[in-house]
């Protein structure tokens, strides 16, 4: 039973990381190149800065995850919040992908027995479960910021990533009418909402 619970946890953690990555990409995928660098005020971060910070954190935390401290000696966190003038959108996306590749490279090989192992972040001991949860909550917070900024910048041109406003009952009816096949992989709550939005768009086109 413990092994089954551990396997379920790891699968759910991977699904959550992948879902949040997709959500962020669906959000910033709607932006024009110059919109990656816009801020709401002098103290705010742009979508590009948030992406750079997240990638820097990922590369530090997940490289050699089980054997080295998650705060690597060569990490410069403060510079993650600074974009050089020559930085392009393509640079940010490439860095973003490098960060996420470290996340999945570290988590995918884990076995249930690894969950109680000890890893360190800034010298503080964490179980593997605690370290995963710490990063999952951290990344979901920043992805919420990316979505908020992207939606603000697109305004009326924004394409919803979730259940559109005033259509909850319609979405519930859609779920009750949609029967997944036995061979189909389970759809996450984010994917179900996106499927709903896409199905309505196709009918209207």
- Give how far the C-alpha of residue 66 lies from the chain's centroid of Cα atoms, to the nearest Å: 22
Domains in the chain, ordered, with CATH? 2-156 (1.20.120.450), 160-205 (no CATH)
pLDDT at 162: 79
**Interval 53-111: pLDDT, tens:** 999 999 999 999 999 999 999 999 999 999 999 999 999 999 999 999 999 999 999 99
| pLDDT for the residue 171 | 73
Question: Is the confidence at residue 133, as pLDDT, over 60?
Answer: yes
On average, the pLDDT of the chain sits at 90
Enter the pTM of the model. Answer: 0.85
In sequence order, which residues have a C-beta less than 8 Å from that of residue 189 and are 6 or more positions away? none
| Percent residues over pLDDT 90 in the chain | 77
Residue 138, C-beta contacts closer than 8 angstroms, at least 6 positions apart: 57
Is the pLDDT at 184 greater than 60? The verdict is: no
The pLDDT-based confidence of 1 (bands split at 50, 70, 90) is: very low
| Residue 44 confidence (pLDDT) above 90 | yes
154 or 172, greater pLDDT: 154
Element (DSSP H or E) covering residue 124: strand 124-127
pLDDT over 70, % of the chain: 86
Sign of CA dihedral 26, 140, 191, 107: positive
């Amino acid at each position: 039973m413990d092994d089954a619970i551990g396997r379920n946890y790891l699968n759910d953690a991977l699904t959550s990381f992948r879902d949040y990555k997709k959500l962020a990409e669906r959000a910033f995928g709607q932006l024009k190149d110059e919109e990656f660098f816009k801020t709401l005020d002098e103290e705010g971060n742009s979508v590009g800065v948030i992406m750079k910070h997240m990638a820097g954190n990922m590369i530090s935390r997940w490289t050699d995850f089980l054997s080295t401290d998650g705060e690597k000696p060569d990490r410069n966190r403060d510079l993650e919040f600074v974009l050089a003038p020559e930085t392009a959108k393509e640079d940010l996306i490439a860095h973003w992908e490098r960060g996420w590749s470290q996340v999945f490279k570290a988590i995918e090989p884990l076995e249930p027995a690894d969950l109680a192992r000890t890893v360190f972040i800034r010298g503080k001991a964490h179980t593997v479960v605690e370290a995963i949860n710490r990063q999952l909550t951290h990344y979901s917070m920043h992805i919420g910021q990316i979505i908020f900024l992207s939606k603000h910048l697109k305004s009326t041109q924004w394409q919803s990533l979730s259940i559109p406003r005033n259509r909850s009952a319609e979405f519930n009816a859609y779920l009750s009418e949609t029967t997944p096949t036995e061979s189909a992989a389970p759809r996450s709550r984010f994917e179900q909402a996106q499927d709903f939005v896409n199905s309505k768009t196709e009918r209207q086109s």
